[in-house]
Chains A and B, each alone.
Chain A
Amino acid sequence: AQSVSQHNHHVILSEAASLELGCNYSYGGTVNLFWYVQYPGQHLQLLLKYFSGDPLVKGIKGFEAEFIKSKFSFNLRKPSVQWSDTAEYFCAVIPYNTDKLIFGTGTRLQVFP
């Protein structure tokens, strides 16, 4: 079945540790890719997106993601996390043949000081 997979359900890190959250999708053809973040008690916010061009995209708050077409992946990275990065992170995909935003199951990140 077509889907978006986030393999890390819960990640616990200390401040200054590096972060990589995996995201894989199973759609063929053209896709638009997104990472959204949901801080505790707040609404979903866009972290970054990829539509075309340079496969390494930079977002807000020092986050970046790399689109690897051959691996159907769009992993999120941050070299040094902060306590304020504690949140739920959702990878999402819009396949052009569906025009619908399909979310992954989310990864809960906890950063301890």
Chain B
Amino acid sequence: DAMVIQNPRYQVTQFGKPVTLSCSQTLNHNVMYWYQQKSSQAPKLLFHYYDKDFNNEADTPDNFQSRRPNTSFCFLDIRSPGLGDAAMYLCATSRENTDTQYFGPGTRLTVL
């Protein structure tokens, strides 16, 4: 089945230690998104790629970076995680910006 895959499902890191989360898709969608979701809150868009074009949200901290080496893969790099960065990180894909987004299972990040 075509899907959005996120690895790992659970990630534990130490305060200030860089961490990378990965997302892959078999849907061949043009757009890939990264969201941050804290407990009992709505997902918050961090940034997205339309093909290779990177679009950062104005309020996304510089601590968060992303890479999309090809259509199928997208990475979220957190350069110096703080305690406030503990959250579920969701990857999503869509064919076009206004189309339905399909979400992966998420990576739950714990910062010690």
Contact = CB atoms under 8 A, between A and B. Distances in A.
B42 A34 contact: no
Contact of A43 (B40, B42, B105): B105
A34 B100 contact: yes
Q: Give the one of A44, A45, A49, A100 with max B CB within 10 A.
A: A44
Majority secondary structure, B binding face = loop
B90 A43 contact: yes
B43 A103 contact: yes
A66 B54 CA distance: 35
Interface residues of B, number: 18
A45 B102 CA distance: 7
Nearest to B104: A43
Interface of A: 32, 34, 36, 42-46, 49, 90, 94, 96, 99-101, 103-106, 108
Interface of B: 33, 40-43, 45, 90, 92, 97-106
| Nearest 6 interchain pairs by C-beta | A99-B97, A103-B42, A44-B103, A43-B105, A94-B98, A43-B103
